Structure 1
Amino acid sequence: MKIIPVISAVVVLAALYFAVLERDRLMEFAGVTTTDAADPETDAAAEETLAEENEAPAQGVGVVAIRSVAQTIDSAVILRGRTEAARQVTVAAETSGLVISEPLRKGATVEAGQEMCRLDPGTREASLAEARARLTEAEGRVPEAQAAVAEANARVREAEINLNAASRLSQDGFASETTLVSAQAAMDGAQAGVQRANSGIKSAEAGIEAAQAAVAAAEREIERLTIEAPFAGLLETDTAELGSLMQPGTPCATIIQLDPIKLVGFVPEIDVHKVSVGAVAGARLTNGDEVQGTVTFLSRSADETTRTFQVEVTVANADMAISDGQTAEIVIASDGRTAHLIAQSSLTLDDDGVLGVRTIDANNTAAFMPVTLLRDTAEGVWVTDLPDEVDIITVGQEFVTDGVRVAPTFAEAKG
């Protein structure tokens, strides 16, 4: 049997004996003084500290909040677009001929009905005179046809008298059957003459109509020699040069109308319900100018590729300061919405990644509410989907969760 483990066990037992049963003597031998009664002041301080520790959670976590009231703000649809002339047309020749007018240069202002190109008439004046002569000749045939009709009617009346006389004589036995047949034949011939005379009148009237059509065609051909501006505007190209040969379809000039001018953009299908015809709209051009007009057209058919809807805004342009084809940022006003203006730092995310804010309910406990971001401004962000009046935590929202009691300090809300 080894002696060292036995000695170690005896030493441990002795140490435990003095530490437990002879504690007072051991402390006195070590120079430590103990008292049986506790210090009342120390106990009071300890109890006060414990009370404060228990009271802190009951008061809540300190946060900074604002009492926000919803406001009505103007909503708008913002798009990129371009300016476009209200009208644009390439005026072309309708007949052939040489240009005999001096050209107008591009950029010139023209009025509605102003001459732009004039063609050489050639023999068209002679053709018109011939058509008018034929009309006069056709009109002269009508009295002759009418006289023939009157003569034919007279012969019918004469044949009718002879036929009646022959019929009575034949009944009395004073005329032969041959005489009666001859009188009937004369009657039939007279009636056929009336029909021929009436056909002559119709033929004369048809001749008049044909002659009138020829006159109108000749006059219209002469009118085509002068090419006029269909509306007031600006020449985008020079008119046809003097001496150039024009054929039907050959361009004379291109005219654009810039007053009023259109702003053309395309609205995404998610925002098309916010736009309506007659809505107020504005635009900022690339040179910084700002213009205002109204929506005059909204397409009801989406583009098959982009799924967007074309919208047109009409803007006054009396001074022609806006050109065709300029890039523009278009803003179209829509119905106002109620929203809250808060600092962007007040926004937070819940465990599912939903954007929202921490609010304070009537029991001074924190609650998460999702929001929809409407607009970002220099003063803050406009959000919706909140009650009209709500207490929003602006500082400390990241340190509380739903149901945690808070001790809010209210700051002034943004106006």
Structure 2
Amino acid sequence: MNTSWMAATLLVFALALWMLSGVLRGDGQSDDEQDADSAQETAMTVEAMPAATTTMAREIELHGQLEPVQHLLLNAQTDGSVEKIHTSKGSRVRQQDELLQLDLGSRMATLAEAKAAVKLARSEQRAAKALNELELQSQLQLEQAEASLEAAMARQASISLDIEKTTITAPFDAVVNDILVDSGELIDRGAVVIELIDDSAFKVSAQASQQVLSELSAGQAVKVSLITGETLDGSLSYVSSIADPQTRTFTVEATVENPGAGFAAGVSATLHIPVEEVEATFISPSTLSLGNDGQLGIKALDNQDRVEFLPIELISTTVDGAWVSGIPEGQRVITIGQGFVNPGELVNAQAPAER
């Protein structure tokens, strides 16, 4: 084999090695660099933005409705026919205002008879006392006269009280919600005649779960939001110490004022009870995810753009999103594409402005 042929063979072999090196190494890149480029090309592209936190009160929300603090079905304390009704449905009445008058019937005549009996019994008692002092009448006779006087006076007082009961008055400032009798109607003692509601203040009754009971106590400040859009200030007035045997929940009541009597009983209401201050982040509902154990959370990115799952706690919700705790300040939160990636995956992260 001559020298020129060997030189040509070596030249071809060297050229082949050089070309193969270029193919394998991608124009001079290392194996690690090529792997990184390949991973970058296949990684899912997501959008992420840093979280901004603010200090706010964590609230417990309980749902109930406005109920009057005082709701009374007024009963007749004596019998008789309804002579006159002094009020009407929806009227506002003050304490001691006359609401209804029953016919006196023969009560005045009976009272006059009782007064006469008292007068006679008093005269007999005085005479018995004078004779007893002169030892002309026994002590027993004096005591009998005194007993007769006391009985006559008691009968007079009873008749007078019965006459007073024929006038039915308001026991407190209220609204006449209903009148359950008509003029001329004959009613018995104990019959329900008028329904009264004190709407100067309301209570809101709700049911609290076992998990939040330890955070509630009488006297706590609350805000009550009504379904009509208004908000009232109040305080917890009662927290039950015994759970409902059926629901295992505890009754909670809050009291709120009714300024200007502008609200009505029965309106749906939500109690907002602040219990502590937390660092909160506002997020879109679409950002929320569920972990493998059903834990509510979000998907975020670490410093290497790998996906991680962060558990969160829901603080409050609005029509636009939710306030949550558990997201550190500046933490990059995946806002678009979180449904297509899983914790541990490397992603191609972009800011919203890069779209």
Query: What TM-score, normalized to structure 2?
Result: 0.73
Q: Secondary structure at the match of 2:55?
A: strand
How far is the alpha carbon of 1:399 from its aligned partner? 6.0
The 8 Å contact of residues 80 and 102 in structure 2, kept in 1 or not, is answered as yes
Counterpart position of 2:92: 109
Q: Are 1:129 and 2:112 counterparts? A: yes
> Structure 1 residues 367, 390: CA separation in 2 closer, same or farther (over 3 Å shift)?
farther
- Equivalents in 2 of 1:46, 1:241: separation in Å? 103
Larger fraction in strand: 2
Counterpart position of 1:179: none
For the pair shown, the structure with the greater C-alpha radius of gyration is 1
Q: Are 1:217 and 2:158 counterparts? A: yes
Counterpart position of 1:139: 122
The 8 Å contact of residues 293 and 313 in structure 1, kept in 2 or not, is answered as no
Q: Are 1:88 and 2:71 counterparts? A: yes
How far is the alpha carbon of 1:333 from its aligned partner? 2.1
The amino acid that maps onto 2:278 is T
The 8 Å contact of residues 242 and 250 in structure 2, kept in 1 or not, is answered as yes
Counterpart position of 2:184: 243
> Structure 1 residues 137, 382: CA separation in 2 closer, same or farther (over 3 Å shift)?
same
Q: Are 1:281 and 2:223 counterparts? A: yes
How far is the alpha carbon of 1:370 from its aligned partner? 3.3
> Structure 1 residues 64, 243: CA separation in 2 closer, same or farther (over 3 Å shift)?
closer
- Equivalents in 1 of 2:311, 2:169: separation in Å? 65
How far is the alpha carbon of 1:37 from its aligned partner? 7.8
The 8 Å contact of residues 59 and 316 in structure 2, kept in 1 or not, is answered as no
How far is the alpha carbon of 1:292 from its aligned partner? 0.3
- Equivalents in 2 of 1:201, 1:225: separation in Å? 37
Structure 1 gap ranges (5+): 1-20, 153-192
Task: Between 139-148 and 352-361, report the one with greater CA deviation.
Answer: 352-361
How far is the alpha carbon of 1:46 from its aligned partner? 6.4
Counterpart position of 1:329: 269
Counterpart position of 2:33: 53
- Equivalents in 2 of 1:349, 1:103: separation in Å? 64
How far is the alpha carbon of 1:246 from its aligned partner? 2.2
Q: Secondary structure at the match of 2:133?
A: helix
Larger fraction in helix: 1
Q: Are 1:338 and 2:278 counterparts? A: yes
Counterpart position of 2:248: 307
Alpha-carbon displacement from aligned partner over 1:201-246 (angstroms, at most 9, x marks no partner) = 3323322221221111111111122111222222222364332222
- Equivalents in 1 of 2:202, 2:317: separation in Å? 31
- Equivalents in 2 of 1:318, 1:391: separation in Å? 45
How far is the alpha carbon of 1:322 from its aligned partner? 2.0
> Structure 1 residues 143, 71: CA separation in 2 closer, same or farther (over 3 Å shift)?
same
Q: Secondary structure at the match of 1:99?
A: strand
Counterpart position of 1:3: none
- Equivalents in 1 of 2:109, 2:202: separation in Å? 46
How far is the alpha carbon of 1:125 from its aligned partner? 1.8
- Equivalents in 2 of 1:199, 1:53: separation in Å? 126
Counterpart position of 2:334: 394
How far is the alpha carbon of 1:342 from its aligned partner? 6.0
The 8 Å contact of residues 146 and 197 in structure 1, kept in 2 or not, is answered as no
- Equivalents in 1 of 2:70, 2:115: separation in Å? 39
Alpha-carbon displacement from aligned partner over 1:271-299 (angstroms, at most 9, x marks no partner) = 344443332222223xx341303133333
The 8 Å contact of residues 281 and 325 in structure 2, kept in 1 or not, is answered as no
The 8 Å contact of residues 299 and 310 in structure 1, kept in 2 or not, is answered as yes
Counterpart position of 1:188: none
Counterpart position of 1:252: 193
How far is the alpha carbon of 1:378 from its aligned partner? 6.4
Task: Between 316-325 and 47-56, report the one with greater CA deviation.
Answer: 47-56
Task: Between 218-227 and 306-315, report the one with greater CA deviation.
Answer: 306-315
How far is the alpha carbon of 1:270 from its aligned partner? 3.4
The amino acid that maps onto 1:109 is R
The 8 Å contact of residues 258 and 317 in structure 1, kept in 2 or not, is answered as yes
Tell me the number of residue pairs that the alignment of Structure 1 and Structure 2 aligns: 339
The amino acid that maps onto 2:30 is L
Task: Between 377-386 and 246-255, report the one with greater CA deviation.
Answer: 377-386
Q: Secondary structure at the match of 2:182?
A: coil
The amino acid that maps onto 2:263 is I
How much identity, in percent, do the aligned residues show?
25
Q: Are 1:292 and 2:232 counterparts? A: yes
The amino acid that maps onto 1:94 is Q
The 8 Å contact of residues 77 and 332 in structure 1, kept in 2 or not, is answered as yes
Counterpart position of 1:75: 58
The 8 Å contact of residues 117 and 239 in structure 1, kept in 2 or not, is answered as no
